[in-house]
């Protein structure tokens, strides 16, 4: 009788141990998949940043080229320079993805910069000599290419963020996400009025 009770206790302890190990392995699997998704978000974010940096690096050359032909467009040239300065003032770390207010400021600065660049490129329409200048054409092509890359990287970033945000909200992964400090990441949003064609006045 005693040996039977001892055997029963041993079986119960064994089942509990297997359950505890199973739950631990299950939680570890979810945690590791969330870490992978978080790293994908960070990797995608760095691609977005590098394209924004590439654009910022090209702008001084473009401004100087336009200045050589259209120095009287001071307001447009100043607007681009100021917008670029504002972009560089926004300190961007990985934490920006978890902070809606900082992310919004970052996006607003980048949108303002995009708008200033559009106005600068539109200036060329008023200056046929500038439009045919090889330096300007090469820079314009690089800027347009960079804008396309930015759009692609932002779309990819939003897709990865969507996967991450969905994963941390799903049951039962939400428990692990909350306990481990995983927080919802921010999306890039379309600029207000982006659907309308910008009106350029000189």
How many domains is the chain built from? 1
Q: Is residue 122 part of a domain?
A: yes
Average pLDDT value for residue range 92-97: 74
Determine the structural domain holding residue 70 and report its residue range: 30-180
Q: Is residue 9 part of a domain?
A: no
- Which CATH number is 59's domain given? 1.20.1440.20
- Per-residue pLDDT reduced to its tens digit, 141-153: 888 899 999 999 9
Contact 39, 56 (CB under 8 A): no
Q: Is residue 24 part of a domain?
A: no
Going from the C-alpha of 103 to that of each of 37, 75, 115, 185, the distances in angstroms are 19, 28, 18, 10
Task: Kindly report the pTM of this predicted structure.
Answer: 0.78
pLDDT band, residue 1 (cuts 50/70/90): low
pLDDT band, residue 198 (cuts 50/70/90): very low
């Amino acid at each position: 009788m005693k040996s039977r009770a001892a055997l029963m206790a041993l079986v119960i302890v064994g089942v509990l141990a297997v359950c505890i190990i199973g739950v631990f392995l299950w939680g570890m699997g979810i945690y590791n998949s969330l870490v992978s998704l978080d790293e994908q978000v960070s990797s995608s974010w760095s691609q977005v940043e590098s394209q924004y940096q590439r654009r910022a690096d090209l702008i001084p050359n473009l401004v100087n080229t336009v200045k050589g032909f259209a120095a009287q467009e001071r307001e447009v040239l100043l607007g681009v320079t100021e917008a670029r300065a504002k972009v560089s003032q926004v300190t961007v770390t990985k934490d920006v993805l978890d902070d809606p207010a900082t992310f919004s400021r970052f996006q607003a600065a980048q949108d303002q910069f995009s708008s200033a660049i559009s106005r600068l490129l539109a200036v060329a329409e008023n200056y046929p000599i500038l439009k045919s200048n090889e330096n300007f054409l090469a820079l314009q092509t690089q800027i347009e290419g960079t804008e396309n890359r930015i759009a692609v990287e932002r779309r990819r970033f939003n897709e990865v963020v969507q996967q991450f945000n969905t994963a941390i909200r799903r049951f039962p992964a939400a428990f692990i996400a909350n306990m481990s400090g995983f927080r919802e990441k921010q999306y890039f949003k379309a600029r207000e009025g982006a659907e309308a064609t910008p009106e350029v006045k000189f």
